[in-house]
Amino acid sequence: MLGFGSKSRQAASAAVGGKDRFETIINSIADGVIMIDKQQVVQLLNPAAAELCGWKIDEATGINVNQVFKLANKKGEPLKTSEDPLHKIMESDKPIRVDEAFLLNRNNSQVAISLSLTPLPDPEGHVSGVVAVFRDVSTETAQQQQRADFISTASHEMRTPVAAIEGYLALALNEKVATIDARARDYLDKAHASAQHLGQLFQDLLTSAKAEDGRLTSHPTAVELGSFLDKLTSDLRLVAEKKGLFVEFVVGSKDSVINATKSGAIQKVVRPLYYVYVDPDRLREVITNLFDNAVKYTPEGKVSLGLTGDGNVVQCYVRDTGPGIPAEDLPHLFQKFYRVDNSATRTIGGTGLGLFICRKIIELYSGRIWAESEVGKGSTFYINLPRLSDQKAAELQKAVPAVEPLEPSSSL
Residues at the site binding ligand ADP, with contacts judged by CB under 6 A: 293-294, 297, 320, 322-323, 325, 333, 338-340, 345, 350-356, 379
- Give the residue with the Cβ less far from ligand ADP, 104 or 245: 245
CB nearer ligand ADP, residue 88 or residue 336: 336
Residue 323 C-beta: closest distance to ligand ADP, Å: 6
What distance in Å separates the CA atoms of residue 278 and residue 224, rounded to the nearest whole number?
Answer: 10
- Going by C-alpha positions, the residue among 19, 44, 20, 48 that lies closest to residue 32 is 48
- Minimum CB separation of residue 62 from ligand ADP in Å reads 52
Closest CA to 344 of 376, 297, 302: 297
Find all residues with CB under 8 Å of 30, minimum gap 6, and list them.
48, 135
Nearer to ligand ADP, 55 or 202 (CB): 202
Residue 137 or 333: the one with the smaller Cβ distance to ligand ADP is 333
Nearer to ligand ADP (CB atom), residue 111 or residue 229: 229
Q: In the bound complex, what is the minimum distance in angstroms from residue 171's beta carbon to ligand ADP?
A: 28
- Whether the CB-CB separation of 280 and 385 falls below 8 Å is answered with no
In the bound state, the residue with its beta carbon closest to ligand ADP is 350
Backbone region of residue 373 per phi and psi (left: phi > 0; alpha: psi in -120 to 50; beta: other values): beta
- The CB-of-357 to ligand ADP minimum distance in angstroms stands at 8
Taking the CA atoms of the chain, what radius of gyration do you get in angstroms? 28
Phi, psi of 105, rounded to the nearest 5 degrees: -80, -175
CA 198 – CA 196 distance, rounded (Å): 5
What is the C-alpha to C-alpha distance for residues 219 and 352, in angstroms, rounded to an integer?
26
**What distance in Å separates the CA atoms of residue 295 and residue 239, rounded to the nearest whole number?**
8
Minimum distance from residue 204 beta carbon to ligand ADP (Å):
8
Q: Which is nearer to ligand ADP, 355 or 362 (CB)?
A: 355
Residue 240 in 3-state DSSP? helix
Minimum distance from residue 208 beta carbon to ligand ADP (Å): 10
Contact 37, 128 (CB under 8 A): yes
Least gap, CB of 289 to ligand ADP (angstroms): 6
Kindly tell me which of 86 and 211 has the beta carbon lying closer to ligand ADP: 211
Residue 38 to residues 32, 34, 47, 63, 129: CA-CA distances in angstroms? Answer: 20, 13, 22, 13, 5
Which of 355, 1, 11 is CA-nearest to residue 207?
Answer: 355
Q: Are 383 and 315 in contact (CB under 8 A)?
A: yes
Name the residue nearer to ligand ADP (CB basis): 183 or 242: 242
CB of 36 to ligand ADP, least distance (A): 42
CB atoms within 10 A of CB 227: 12
